[in-house]
Structure 1
Amino acid sequence: MVLGWLLLLVTALPRGTTGTKECVFCELTDSSSCPGTHMHCGDDEDCFTGTGTSPGLGPIINKGCLPSTLCGREEPVTYQGVTYSLISTCCSGHLCNRAPNPAGSRRALGILLLLLRLL
């Protein structure tokens, strides 16, 4: 019975950060969506989503891997001849910088409710 609980719990938890971490990568873009491709990060890197702003213009975004020491910093970047202030927000899970997945959230919630019901 305990083994069954552990197996259920392990399948409900997000993937760990051990081993090779993958992140979503996309170039700077002014598009609201960034489908991106997968890339492998180094041991000292985290996934990030960068959001840039410039007065009077819409935001820009980019995604990829970033050394963890640079997370949360603000830096100037130039996109299409305009300088933006880009802030990188990091996360440490496998593909954690992809777009939110409502179906995955519902799955985790369903498993949690099942566990609570069984208790």
Structure 2
Amino acid sequence: MTTSSCLKFPRMCRPTETCLTSKAVGKKGKQRIVLYEKGCMVKSLCGICGTKTAMGIVFAYNNSCCNTDLCNGAPGAKGSLAAGVGRVLVSALASALGLSLL
């Protein structure tokens, strides 16, 4: 799955939240695993980076925020069956990392 094949699920952030884009990178052997998350986040977690471990993989993550309508969206993104299946897998891994996909 590429970032251009992500499904779009726009939603309104709560007044205490802002738009989030987060990227987590981990390695398992020679394989590099990259996870992307887009959604809403409490403003105090913007600009935060760190590491989390899930399924024996250490991920380095970085949260970025913005505050205009759909500012964390990917222009021209298209949905597909592969993207839908990928989204389910990413959701499961994100849950294991303690992240929420909105």
Q: TM-score, normalised by structure 2?
A: 0.58
State the secondary structure of the residue aligned to 1:85.
strand
Q: Separation in 2 of the partners of 1:35 and 1:75?
A: 26
Partner residue in 2 for 1:44: 16
Greater RCO (CA < 8 Å, at least 6 residues apart): 2
After superposition, give the CA deviation of every residue in 1:37-85 in whole Å (9 maximum; x if it has no partner).
Answer: 1122111211011011124513211110001111010133455x22311
- Identity within the alignment, %: 27
In structure 1, runs of 5+ residues without a counterpart are: 1-30, 102-119
1:92 corresponds in structure 2 to 67
- The size of the alignment, in residue pairs, is 70
Give TM-score scaled by structure 1 length.
Answer: 0.50
